[in-house]
Each structure stands twice: as structure tokens, then as C-alpha cells.
Amino acid sequence: MPKLVLAYSGGLDTTTAIKWLAVEQGYDVIALNIDVGRSREQPVVESRGMAAGALKVRVIDAKDDFIRYFAFPALAAGAIYQDAYPLATALARPLMAKLLVDVAREEGAAAVAHGCTGKGNDQVRFDVGIQTLDPALQIVAPTRENAMARETQIDYLKKHGIDIPWGDKGPFSIDENIWGRSAEAGVLEDPWQEPPPAAYEWTRSAEEAPAAPAYVEVTFDHGLPVALDGEELDPVALVERLNDLAGLHGVGRIDHIEDRLVGIKSREIYEAPAAVSLNAAHRALEAMTLSKQQLRLKKLIATEYAELIYNGLWFSAHHQDVAAYVASTQRHVSGTIRLRLHRGQATVVGRKAPRSLYDRGLATYDRGDTYDQSAAVGFINIWGLQTRVQARVQLLSASAETLKIATPGE
């Protein structure tokens, strides 16, 4: 039988997919469990996969690669989709696509599969990634091709002698990895409903968070986080520690109406305590170390970067180009930011950088002023020249009517 590598989470959808791919499609299924953090226990995944009839179950710990080569570069780029979503799921998909392709080659498989539905972004990210990395591979998407209701899936597995206690479905559809957690569906589909407490798992509510704030110092080197409170940490340990600390203080809850690539608006609840804290800190460090022109262009690039990640174009020449720009901008983005974590907010309260452009002598209103105030007069004379000429020629009377500025709604 031809071999197929399936991205396997150990959940009901992909467990059913193993059986379906074997029985209905005639594949020898290799179940590939990619651990990007917060995945199910390895023994559970293995026993479910084997019970469903996988030829073998392989587990890859991809947490370090995920943070180092996907999440942190997105952080340095400032990539936040629609000013809200730090892209946890979107960043993990291209890595999974790459590992599927790698393992397919190792195993001599002709096909790969994933459990995405036909309504979301993830199918696009998987398919485009796989097609780019190995156009010869067949892609099968059992859930997209043959959506089965939950009860049907459980019956289907039982019919084939697989009886696993699946427990309650839970009120939401969850996807999570070390960079963030997403919850969709159920009552969240009503955008007027406040998310119930059960929608959150990583963060405390502001009310239940400790009354006293916590402070944490994040040190960056060339735009990448390297230490917390002066202690050097590897990327995974740093993110895990900050998820715990910031989550305890209620930081990182996001309630967002999001535009999917396939044209659907959807209501998403995210939790991303480390990502939100690190983005705030990184932005503050850039404010110290980049010029105003650099900050302005980088903001545009950040939007572009977020779009390409969200839209599944990780493996593209366009990404290589914008990544080269981002890397160049980060060459002096080193230093330390002090954050105050309190009742749902991560607030920047201190910053220092060896190559800071902030010059206290220029800024001060106290003694030691090095700025020449008399030079401002000449500057303003030139800066305002165009406006003065235009006012003289075109805003003839400079009456209130002539100067009226359009106001929305009027």
C-alpha cells in the first residue's frame, strides 16, 4: 500500500482520519505528531494512533525550532494580524508543513495529510507550504473531503473496533501552541456575548489576578529576547516562563473579529501572555533605537509581514525580501525593557539600550540642556513656508468657511 504521512494531534478528528485513510483510501498511515507546545501527552498520542491503525506514530519536538525560527522572527518584525492577533497558529503551520515533507521523504511516502476543514486558514497554510516544498506530494484533507459529525466519527471508530473514551467535546474549538491559544465556536460565535470564563485557560481575569503588580525585565539582542531579569534563557524556557508570569497577571487576552483568508469574518478569543508582553517590550526598545523614518517604514512592513504569515506565504521570495529588511533594522535593537504586569496590562515602565538614540541632554528641561532653542525659529520659517504661500493664494479670505475641515457624519 502507498505510504502517507498525517499531521496527527491525537484528537478525534485526526484519529478518525487515520482509520479513514487506511480503510477508505488504502494508505499505510504514518502518524506524525509535531509538538509545538501544549500538545497531548506522548503516550496518549502514541496509543491512540496505534489503536486507530497507524503503521507507526512518530513524535517530533519542534518547540525550539518553532520559537527560534518562526515566533521570534515574527516578533522582531512586529507582525500582529489586524493589530490584534500574534499569529500563534499561523506561525506553526509552515513548520508543520516542512516537517510533513521531511518525514514523507524519509519514509518514501507518496502523500501527506492534515485534519483541516475547508472553512479556515490552516488548510491554505498547509497546502501552500507543502505544494511549495514538494509539488510532487499528494495532499489529502480527510476533514475537508468528508466532514463527519462528532458522533459519526465516534461510531465510525467503534465500528472498526476502536473504543477510546473521548470525554466531553468541550464548549469551544481550541488550537494551542507555546506562542498562544485560540478558542472559537460555541457561544463565541455570538459577537455580542462576552466570552465566558471557560473560554480562558492560560490567563487569570483582571479581577482574579494578584492585587500587587509584578515587574519583569526583558533583555533583547538584535531584536531577539535573550534574558528575563538578567538570567539568560533559551527561547522556549523564556517564553514558557513569561507565559506563566504574565498569564497569572491576566495579560494577553484578545477578543477579535478577524478576517479569514477565505472571506469569512470570525470571532476569535486568543490568549498569548508572552507574545503580548514581548511585543510591547520589543516595540518600546525600537522606539529607543530606531529613527523616526525607520519606525515609520517598519510599521508598514510589519503589516505586510503579518499578512504574509496569516495568508500562508511563509515559503515565498516575498518573505525572504521583507525578512532581509527586518533583520537589517534589528542591528542596534539590543537592550533591556522593564515591564509592569498588573491586572491584564503589560506596561512598559523602563527602557535602556547601549545604542539608544534618546539623548537626555537634548530632551531635558533641566540644567545641562544641549539643544539650541534659537535655531528653532529658522527651522519653523522654512517648515511653514508652503503653508503660508498656499494660504495667501488659495485660502483667500482665510475665513472660517474657507478653512472648514470635513467632519465625518456631517
Q: How far is the CB of 98 from ligand ARG (least distance, A)?
A: 17
Nearer to ligand ARG, 4 or 90 (CB): 90
The active-site residue out of 93, 181, 253, 267 is: 93
Strands in 124-239 per DSSP E: 138-140, 173-177, 180-184, 214-221, 224-228, 231-232
Q: How far is the CB of 89 from ligand ARG (least distance, A)?
A: 4
Is the distance from CB of 181 to CB of 202 less than 8 angstroms? yes
Q: Sort strands 111-113 and 138-140 into parallel, antiparallel or unpaired.
A: parallel
Is the distance from CB of 301 to CB of 77 less than 8 angstroms? yes
Nearer to ligand ARG, 53 or 120 (CB): 120
Nearer to ligand ARG, 265 or 404 (CB): 265
Cell numbers describing residue 98: 516542512
Q: How far apart are CA 53 and CA 17, in angstroms?
A: 10
Active site residue 283: no
Binding site for ligand ARG (CB under 6 A): 89-90, 120-122, 173, 175, 182, 184, 258, 268
Cell numbers describing residue 387: 503653508
The active-site residue out of 13, 48, 267, 277 is: 13
Q: How far is the CB of 220 from ligand ARG (least distance, A)?
A: 26
Per the listing, cell 518573505 goes with 319
> DSSP labels for 44-59?
HHHHHHHHTT-SEEEE
Q: How far apart are CA 118 and CA 328, in angstroms?
A: 38
Q: Name the CA dihedral angle for 231, 237, 239, 243, rounded to a multiple of 10 degrees.
A: -100
Active site residue 316: no
Q: How far apart are CA 23 and CA 52, in angstroms?
A: 11
Chain centroid, CA 248 distance in Å:
20
Q: How far is the CB of 15 from ligand ARG (least distance, A)?
A: 16
Q: How far is the CB of 122 from ligand ARG (least distance, A)?
A: 5
Active site residue 93: yes
The active-site residue out of 122, 127, 182, 277 is: 122
The edge-to-edge listing of strands for the beta sheet with 335-342 is: 231-232, 224-228, 214-221, 335-342, 345-352
Nearer to ligand ARG, 268 or 271 (CB): 268
Q: How far is the CB of 310 from ligand ARG (least distance, A)?
A: 7
Q: Would you name the residues annotated as active-site residues? A: 13, 93, 122, 173
